[in-house]
Amino acid sequence: MNDETSEDAAVSQHRTGNEAVLTVLAPSGPTRGVALVLHGGKSRSFEPVQARHLSPARMVPFARHLHGAGKKHGLEVWILRNSVRGWNGEDMTPLKDARWALAKIRETHPGAPVYLLGHSMGGLTAICAADEPGVDAVVALAPWLDDATPASAVAGRKVLIVHGNEDRWTSPAASLRFARRAASGAAEMRYVSLRGAGHFMFRRVGLWHRLATGFLMKAFLERTGVPGAGPSASTAALDRVLPPSGEALPLVL
């Protein structure tokens, strides 16, 4: 799909000279919080990202699922399409794009809590960008982490990492090591291992969606205290699969 012409897109903004693109899915009423959705990519590539590429297209259903759960409660969803496809070593291009997007969010909605959702390289980006002001919670799906990924970035944040145990593109073991390193500093740390699931989230897709949306919606509703909201269907679905926080890592589903 073309994310710039989506019927739900209230605003599209282009980063001057660099062509990163933001698409905004507006809430039904006033904006009480903003989720930023981040896609995957390659280790090294300066090829511009197109909407037709699989990495950004893969995250559109996640953005829509989250928007469907949160729009009536005031959650706005921003979808970032990176300027180029690669992480590019020390350039860390997607992280620069994400920090630009987060600055735009703060400019547009000062003081609103922010929620990050990323897959693969986007999961790494979400973890690294968690130190930005206003970030409350992070979900990283099959993230591209290693032992050099700084745990300090998620200090004081609520974090959910979900990784399929059959992932051959990014390392479930490295994700679990990161979760254990970061757990003491995070406000909450969850690691879920999905049996039989691989990197691209084709298998058990409904559970990937429920975990991501449920975790962020629960954090959002707890943070904002939306009047009359109560537990949402998404948080109820999350509570059915996740035990109370404080359980030993990992949880295997």
| Whether 235 contacts 204, CB under 8 Å | no
CA distances from 152 to 138, 143, 210, 235, 247 (A): 14, 17, 27, 27, 21
Angle between helices 121-129 and 54-70 (to 10 degrees): 50
What average pLDDT does this structure show over 160-167?
97
- Is there a domain that residue 4 lies in? no
What is the predicted pLDDT for the residue at 228? Answer: 59
Q: Which two tokens stand for residue 14?
A: 């282009």
* Token couple for 137: 């919670």
Question: Is residue 80 a part of any domain in this protein?
Answer: yes
Identify the domain containing residue 244 by its residue range: 9-252
Q: What tens digit of pLDDT does each residue of 78-105 get?
A: 999 999 999 999 989 999 999 999 999 9
Over residues 115-137, the pLDDT tens digits come to 999 999 999 999 999 999 999 99
Tens of pLDDT, residues 35-63: 999 999 999 999 998 989 999 999 999 99
Q: Would you say the C-alpha torsion 171, 175, 176, 178 has a positive or negative sign?
A: positive
pLDDT score at 116: 98
pLDDT-based confidence at residue 240 (cuts at 50, 70, 90): confident
Q: What is the pLDDT of residue 4?
A: 36
181 in any annotated domain: yes
Give 239's pLDDT tier (boundaries 50, 70, 90): confident
Residue 53 lies inside a defined structural domain of this protein: yes
First CA to last CA distance, the chain: 31
In CATH, what number is assigned to the domain containing residue 229? 3.40.50.1820
- Split into its structural domains, the chain has a count of 1
pLDDT at 217 over 50: yes
Q: Per the domain annotation, does 117 fall within a domain?
A: yes
Give CA angle at 190 (146, 69), nearest 5°: 115
1 burial level (CB within 10 Å; 0-12, 13-18, 19+) = exposed
pTM of the full structure: 0.91
Residue 1 lies in a domain: no
* Mean pLDDT, all residues of the chain: 89
